[in-house]
Amino acid sequence: MLKADRLVACRENKRFEWSFELATGQLMAVVGESGIGKSTLISTLLGFHPTESGTVYWNNQPVNHLPVKERPFGVLFQQNNLFEHLTVFQNIALGLNVHAKLSESEQALLRQAAERFGLGSLLKKRASDLSGGQQQRVALARVFLQNKPVLLLDEPFSSLDKNLRDEGINWVKDIQAEHASTVILVTHHLDEINSSVDSILQARSSSHWHQQATAQGSTAGFSPTN
Ligand SMILES: Nc1ncnc2c1ncn2[C@@H]1O[C@H](COP(=O)(O)OP(=O)(O)OP(=O)(O)O)[C@@H](O)[C@H]1O
């Protein structure tokens, strides 16, 4: 279970406060107007932005005092997920091993993941030579290999056209099913993913967020905490 208990962060004289609870394997959509604090929530969970107060629990253990890389989160942003001068192979490899050369078994895993995401023939290409949809698939393959239990997705497909957005969401659902991943998805396209969402965290103001179960979340046993 992932739980945020009165998690508070500040930015430019604004105070943000979030509380929510997500059972393992569930997907929560985060929605609200531009500038309300959706990306700030993702940055704060990751540890890129400081927490003023409150606690984030993963399986009942507080995690918001942990260094960034020890937190249970894999992340995908709208853009800038890749190192453009590196190849597809090198970019995916960063999900497995940042410092050393990959072992043979790691390379085999990487090739499997690349095939799975339709990137088998692109491994030697530079990231800068890929389309937007291909770049996000590389980033997804890397997140897939990282195998973190919680995926934080900050509008990862918003800059793509509708077909590629649908494709991206289907890849996310595949990863979710295979790894039983818990997913937080910031989106401006809630209508396109409604049937996959267990609960919605919606902002009324930066300090007033309301979590509501969807019909699907209710049948899965979700109970909102606020
Ligand atoms: N790096 C930053 N430095 C300073 N202020 C920032 C930074 N990023 C965001 N902000 C400010 O923090 C507030 C919340 O921004 P945030 O990006 O979290 O909103 P959002 O809901 O994700 O918006 P959008 O839907 O446009 O992406 C805004 O007032 C924004 O101007």
DSSP string, 112-137: HHHHHTT-GGGTTSBGGGS-HHHHHH
Q: How high is the ipTM of this complex?
A: 0.94
pLDDT in tens, 9-42: 999 889 999 999 999 999 999 999 999 999 999 9
pTM: 0.91
- C-alpha to C-alpha distance for 16 and 204, rounded to whole angstroms: 11
Residue 122 CB–ligand 1 contact under 6 Å: no
41 C-alpha to ligand 1 centroid (Å): 10
Q: Count CA atoms within 13 Å of residue 23 on its CB side.
A: 14
Pick the CATH number of 1-72+150-164+182-218 from 3.40.50.300, 3.50.50.60, 3.40.50.20, 2.130.10.10: 3.40.50.300
pLDDT in tens, 98-142: 676 888 998 999 999 999 889 999 999 999 999 998 998 999 999
Question: Residue written as tokens 């945020």?
Answer: 4
- C-alpha to C-alpha distance for 42 and 153, rounded to whole angstroms: 8
Residue 196 CB–ligand 1 contact under 6 Å: no
pLDDT in tens, 160-169: 888 888 888 8
Is residue 201 within 8 Å of residue 211, measured between CB atoms? yes
Best CA proximity match to 156, nearest among 26, 42, 51, 46: 42
